[in-house]
Structure formats: C-alpha cells, structure tokens
Amino acid sequence: MKKRIATALSLCMMASAQGAAKDLSAEKTIRLENMTRVSEGVYVIEDRQHIMLVPNITIIVGRDAVLVVDTGLGTDSAQRVLKAAKKLAGRRKLYLTVTHFHPEHGFGAQVFKGQATIIYNRAQRDEMLQKGPGYQSLFATRLGVAKAMRDVRLVAPDVVYDDVASIDLGGRVVKLNYYKPAHTLGDQVVSLPDQGVVIMGDLLETGSFPIMPWFPELGDTDVNPLNWRDILRQVAATQPQIVIPGHGRIGSRADLDAAAQHIEQAREAVASGCAAGETLGDLQQEATPLLAAQHPDWQLKDWIAMEIQVNHARLCRQR
Ligand SMILES: [Zn+2]
C-alpha cells in the first residue's frame, strides 16, 4: 500500500526521486519579487515559473481592510506573504482566506492567527480538519518538503460561512462562493465582481491539465469532474476579465472555457469507452495521448491518466 501511495503521489505531484532525499522546501517558498498588480488594489504573487507546490497568492487592498487569499506552503512562505500584506495594509485590518485545504494553499494559516480574521467555508474547514494531518504527513515524507511541514499546525478559522459570504474592504466588496465538491470538497471561488477579477484556486491551472486527486489509500476520492466543469462554466458566464489560477500565469475567461472543455472531453472519452466495454487500462492507454494532443503546450500531462481513472470510477462503476 505504501508503494502505491508513493507511486501515485510522485507521479501526480511531480515529485522527483531525488525529492525524497533532498529537502525541496526552500525551492517551494513564495517569492515576493514575483508580485504584480493586476487590477486596482489587487496584487498577485504570481507563479510565473509554474513551480509545483508554489501557488498564486492574491492580496486585495480596500480603503479599510486587506484580504489575503492563500498562504503558500508552510510558515516561511506564510511569513513572507504576511509581511507583504502588512506592507500594503499599513494600519488597515487584515483578513485571510484560502482557496482550499491543500497544503501549498493553506498550511501557513497559523502565521496569520491573531494577526488577521481567518474565514473559510464550512466544507473547507471540515475537510482540512479531516484530511489535513494525512496530507501534512505525506507532503513531509513523500514530496520532499519535510522542513516546510515540520512546524505546521492546522488552525481553525475565526469565521465560517456556508454558501456565500462577502467582505467589504472599503470601496471594494469581495465575494466568497462555495459551490459544491470539485477539486476538493471545499473549493472556494473568491471574486471582485465590480472589477471582473476571480480567484479560482486549483479549480483552474493555466497552461496545464487539471489536477484531479484520487487517493483511495488516503481515503480521498471526493474529486468530482462533473461539478468541476459546471463551476467553471458558471464562473465563465460572469464574464471575468482577470482569472487568477491556483498555479500558473494569470489568465482570462478563455482559460476557464478551455479547462471546462477539456474536462468534458475527458468525461466523454471515458463514457464512450466504458460503453464499448473497455477496461480502465485500455482507456488510459488510448485516451491519454488523444487528450494530451488537444493541448500540446499544456503541462502536467501525467495527471491525465488519473483524470481518466476518476471518470472511470464515476461513470463506469456499474459495469
Ligand atoms: Zn489543490
């Protein structure tokens, strides 16, 4: 079982064999020099090099308060993000939210505890408490970031909402939306509707195939491609101008459309494959290169096989 976990994680998280021997935490630390202003009062510490485990971090500055979205992996990253946020905020009140519970997005929240009001949706909070310790251990032992994970403590949010919340930062109202399970059980879309800005977390990775975690060994089989496609379409219908992905360069509505289309194509390929009686192995062998060829410039091709596996479990279970 251990071997299967290692295989899945190293395949899917792009951890190298050397990763287990060499601690990669320093390479995965947030770099403040990558901060850019994308809209009035909206700053992104951008994942320009598409480095695995380094997410995009957004800081939204209003007249009265500042919201930070995501912390980076571990306390070193979070300290840097907090420093950048405080520099922008001055004496203004701070808020923190995270797009979902995965370690590189939220496992630095403890640095903000007492410094900022932390707000999550209920599904996200519950998922972090349930799955967080397992992911912390696996990231430390399998993904080469033990140092970053060493002093992580999972902290409860100060405020929890169910479906929709808004934060008035002063002249700038931020919407927090929980839809339904997709990349995780508790994905959150953060938006500034008046400025056409949306923050997608790992519901979108620009320039790459989607990350669909399917780890039965960890008790984590909650990823839901159908909901995921629907959320992407729903957000795209709001006509956003600036789309901030979980990883990769800042994108646009076209990236949402392309991701939704890919997810649909993968579902259709699996559905027709199972209707024809194909096994999971056959499907992966046949559909992976076809799906990869649709986007030759996209990264994370290793995730396609797992996406097919997820769809197979969802669509072919009765066969
Ligand atoms: Zn994620």
76-92 pLDDT, tens digit each: 999 999 999 999 999 99
Cα(98) to centroid of ligand 1, in Å? 11
Cα(100) to centroid of ligand 1, in Å? 7
Cα(275) to centroid of ligand 1, in Å? 31
Given this model, what pLDDT does residue 5 score? 42
Cα(183) to centroid of ligand 1, in Å? 7
Tokens of 15: 């951890």
User: In degrees, to the nearest 5, what angle opens at C-alpha 104 toward C-alphas 126 and 20?
Assistant: 115
Given this model, what pLDDT does residue 116 score? 98
Given this model, what pLDDT does residue 21 score? 67
Q: Which residues pair with 244 in a beta bridge?
A: 199
Cα(31) to centroid of ligand 1, in Å? 19
Strand ordering across the sheet containing 164-168: 164-168, 173-178, 188-192, 197-205, 242-247
Cα(81) to centroid of ligand 1, in Å? 19
Q: Distance between CA atoms of 16 and 297, rounded to whole angstroms?
A: 21
Given this model, what pLDDT does residue 8 score? 45
Given this model, what pLDDT does residue 12 score? 41
The Cβ-side half-sphere exposure at 42, using a 13 Å CA radius, reads 24
* Positions in the chain whose pLDDT score sits under 70: 1-21, 317-319
pTM over 0.75: yes
Cα(74) to centroid of ligand 1, in Å? 15
Cα(143) to centroid of ligand 1, in Å? 14
How, if at all, do strands 117-121 and 93-97 pair? parallel
Stated as kind and residue range, the H or E segment containing 69 is strand 65-69
Nearest to 23 by CA among 178, 169, 172, 140: 140
